[in-house]
Every structure is written in C-alpha cells, then in structure tokens.
Amino acid sequence: MNDITFFKAFNPPTTNRRIVRKINNIISSGQFICGKHVKFFETAFAKYHQVKYCTALNSGTAALHLALLALNIGHPDEVILPSHTFFATAEAISLVGAKPVFADIDSKTMTIDPQDVESKINSHTKAIIPVHLYGQLAAIKKLKKVANKHGLFLIEDAAQAHGARLNQQKAGTFGQIGCFSFYPTKNLGAFGEAGATITNSKKLDQKIKMLRDHGQEKKYFHRFIGLNYRLNEIQAVVLKEKLFLLDLWVKKRQQIASWYQADLNHLDHIILPQSKKPQHHAYHLFVIRVKNRNQLQNYLSRKNISTMIHYPIPIHHQPPYKKIYSKLKLPHTDTVVSQILSLPLYPQLKRHQVFKITNTIKSFYT
Ligand SMILES: *Cc1c(COP(=O)(O)O)cnc(C)c1O
C-alpha cells in the first residue's frame, strides 16, 4: 500500500548504532538513574538554548507542574493560558491548586492573543503560560511586555517548539522558565517519556532539581514536598545523541512546509499557516484551516492519507472544566477548532508524498 502515515520516527542508522552502544554501556554499568548522562544532556540542552540551567524530567507535564511549584503558584492564584492547546497546560495549573484562566487566540497565528490576556488580569493573576503551538512562537514580545507591566511570571510551554526562534533567541528563553516535552512525536523525541525545564535563575533551577527528586536537598534530607519526576539515563543518552540532529530536522520540516505552501497557496478553500518568518517556525505540525474539515479528513483517509486534529475540543469544553466555564466565550478558539486539520509532517517525508497529499486535497475540491 502507498499509505502515508501521519508520523514516523526514524533516526539515521549511525545515530541509532551510537545510541545502542551507549545504552549497552549503561546496562553494564547498572547506573540507570542519576548518572552522568542526565547531566550531559542538561548541559547540552542549556547550551543549545544559550541559557544557564536545564533540568531533565520524565515528561513535559512534569516540567509545567514543577515550573508552577517552583514559582510558588497555588490556590488562590490565577494563571492565564490559551484554551487551544494540549490538555497538560491547564492540568498543571489545576494540579497546583491555581485557577486556569483561558484567553482567546489570534485566529491568524492560532496562539494566545496578548490583548485578551491583558483584559483577564486581576489581583489574583500570577503568571501567563503562552503555548508556542505547532512550532510557532506566540506573540512573545507583546506577552513579555504585558507580563512585565503587571508583574507576572512568564512560563513558556515550548513542548511543540524545540528549535523555534525569534531572530536568534530560541523558544523557551523569554520568560522565567521554559518547559519542554520529548514525547517521541515532538521535534526532539525520546524513546519513551521525557521532558525538561530551562531557566537562567540558579534559585529556580535548584528548586526544580529538588522538587523532581522528592524535595531532597541532599540524600534523605527533604526540604520540600516534591515528586519523582527524574529522567532515566537511557532517555538522556537518546536525547543527547538526537540533539545533534535537531537543527537539521527543523530545516527539513521548514522545507516540507514550503512544499505544502507552494502546492496549496492558490486554493481559496484553504487557509495555510501564516508566518511572517517561516525560517523561525519549527513546524512541529502543519495545520491548515478549511470549512468542511470532517469531509476532507474522511476523503483523505479513504485515499490512505492519515491526518489528525490538534486539538478537537478546547480545554474549557472538556469535562473537568466545562461546568465552571459554561459562560466563557472564546469565539476565535471555537471557530478555529472546527476548521483545523494537521497534515503529515516529519523530516523524512518525501516531495512525491507531499505531491500526493496536495493533489488529493485538490481533487477533493474539484
Ligand atoms: C506534548 C505537550 C505537553 C505535554 O508533554 P508530555 O511530555 O506529553 O507530558 C504539554 N504541552 C503541549 C503544548 C504539548 O504539546
């Protein structure tokens, strides 16, 4: 079959051989937790972002959770975030006992609208969590201004934005703490679950390092109530080796996005991702907007082309939140969510496959 899957993770064989060799060494050493590889990866990931500190964790959700705990955010604080994101962004806020306050998105960029953010600030507001959705930075300059003006923390959910930047400054480095996920499908993916925080604050980083390890300041001396959010050595080795590929793979993603743009830009039925600087976009996902989205998705599926919807239900409509937020109106979020469709995009996708996808989309409309 000529199936085009939505996602495929394959590394160059040389990278895989190196990883296997290092995993064998870990197995022989017996040191699976708190060894040298986690530290190696942290140093490399901090350096990649030109920041001082990185703490490796066992998921992106853990990164968001610990960022909030490290900043002492909890009940009755409020944290502003988009509703159009992966559930974990809101979950972390609720887990620390704070209240998620959902702001609308700018329908052009599909990221949080700084004006709507500002209108939702009150005396309980402690932080803003912009999400660099689909690999594109949110309006980070404006958000930073709003945060500074009102004395709020800025925590970036950069789980989809490894390698995205604004000029030379990378996603995750604009606020107090940047949060990353290395879930296998992300731009930098582990061989399982993993995540990290980055920061320039020694104090915040030390607290996050204690919190990930049961709040331990030293062995069996527990300064805080923490969690077990440690990353294991095997995932750290995988990430360290794959970090070398990140920039190259982001370039490939940008090239594939440019093929989609070239093939589809003259179609009136489709709104393509809009980016002033495509060279800054990390293209974690290539998300188009169309009116008859479900029919198009079914049609593509019948032609063996897999697509997905990121995400089909905004968070304020999800069961744990929908009663509390039944009166909340986020018109741009609701419209955009009914129209979005994510097309296949991974570094090894070939030109002829993109042609097949775009020609099939064209045939749907004619
Ligand atoms: C993937 C993702 C997360 C959660 O990361 P996990 O590693 O799966 O816990 C959080 N926020 C966004 C925007 C994500 O895409």
| Residue 186 shares a structural domain with residue 72 | yes
Query: Does the pLDDT value for residue 2 go beyond 70?
Result: no
Query: What is the average pLDDT value for the chain, to the nearest integer?
Result: 96
DSSP state of 31: -
Q: Which of 214, 243, 272 is the last residue of a domain?
A: 243
Query: Does the pLDDT value for residue 10 go beyond 90?
Result: no
| Residue 272 shares a structural domain with residue 259 | yes
Q: Report the DSSP beta bridge partners of residue 55.
A: 197
The CATH number assigned to the domain holding 46 equals: 3.40.640.10
What number does the ligand 1 atom closest to the CA of 195 have? 7
Residue 236 in tokens: 């750290």
CA-CA distance, 251 to 223, in Å (whole number)? 44
Q: Which of 193, 221, 243 is the last residue of a domain?
A: 243
The residue contributing the CA closest to ligand 1 atom 14 is: 159
| Residue 150 shares a structural domain with residue 291 | no
The average pLDDT across 130-150 equals: 98
The average pLDDT across 4-12 equals: 85
Which residue among 7, 57, 58, 61 is best mutated to probe the pocket of ligand 1, counting the most ligand atoms within 8 A of its Cβ?
61
**The total number of structural domains that make up the chain:** 2
pLDDT band at 90 (very low <50, low <70, confident <90, very high): very high
| Residue 231 shares a structural domain with residue 290 | no
| Residue 333 shares a structural domain with residue 208 | no
The CATH number assigned to the domain holding 252 equals: 3.90.1150.10
pLDDT tens-digit series, residues 260-307: 999 999 999 999 998 888 899 999 999 999 999 999 999 999 999 999
> So what's the pLDDT on residue 96?
98
181 alpha carbon – ligand 1 mean position (Å): 5
Q: Which of 225, 243, 261 is the last residue of a domain?
A: 243
CA-CA distance, 256 to 344, in Å (whole number)? 10
Percent of the chain with pLDDT over 70: 99
Which residue among 111, 160, 185 is best mutated to probe the pocket of ligand 1, counting the most ligand atoms within 8 A of its Cβ?
160
> So what's the pLDDT on residue 174?
98
> So what's the pLDDT on residue 366?
87
CA dihedral 204, 205, 210, 212 (to 10 degrees): 110
Which residues span the domain enclosing 231?
3-103+110-243
Query: Does the pLDDT value for residue 1 go beyond 60?
Result: no
Contact 342, 309 (CB under 8 A): yes
Which residue among 110, 137, 181 is best mutated to probe the pocket of ligand 1, counting the most ligand atoms within 8 A of its Cβ?
181
Tell me how many degrees the CA angle 265-267-272 measures, rounded to the nearest 5: 50
Q: How far is CA 348 from CA 8, 10, 345, in A?
A: 8, 8, 8
Strands 125-128 and 153-157: parallel
pTM of this prediction?
A: 0.97
What number does the ligand 1 atom closest to the CA of 194 have? 7
pLDDT band at 247 (very low <50, low <70, confident <90, very high): very high
| Residue 129 shares a structural domain with residue 162 | yes
Contact 124, 75 (CB under 8 A): no
CB atoms within 10 A of CB 27: 12
88 alpha carbon – ligand 1 mean position (Å): 6
| Residue 257 shares a structural domain with residue 351 | yes
| Residue 127 shares a structural domain with residue 34 | yes
What number does the ligand 1 atom closest to the CA of 181 have? 7
Residue 344 in tokens: 């296949």
Query: For residue 76, is the peptide bond before it cis, meaning its omega torsion is within 30 degrees of 0?
Result: yes
Query: Is residue 21 within a helix (H) or strand (E), and if so which, with residue range?
Result: helix 13-29
Query: Does the pLDDT value for residue 252 go beyond 80?
Result: yes
| Residue 81 shares a structural domain with residue 128 | yes
| Residue 214 shares a structural domain with residue 250 | no
pLDDT band at 218 (very low <50, low <70, confident <90, very high): very high
194 alpha carbon – ligand 1 mean position (Å): 10
Using a 6 Å CB cutoff, which residues line ligand 1? Answer: 59-61, 85-86, 88-89, 131, 157, 159-160, 181, 183, 195
| Residue 230 shares a structural domain with residue 272 | no
The average pLDDT across 44-68 equals: 98
Query: Does the pLDDT value for residue 139 go beyond 80?
Result: yes
| Residue 266 shares a structural domain with residue 203 | no
pLDDT tens-digit series, residues 221-242: 999 999 999 999 999 999 999 9
The average pLDDT across 107-131 equals: 98
pLDDT tens-digit series, residues 180-199: 999 999 999 999 999 999 99
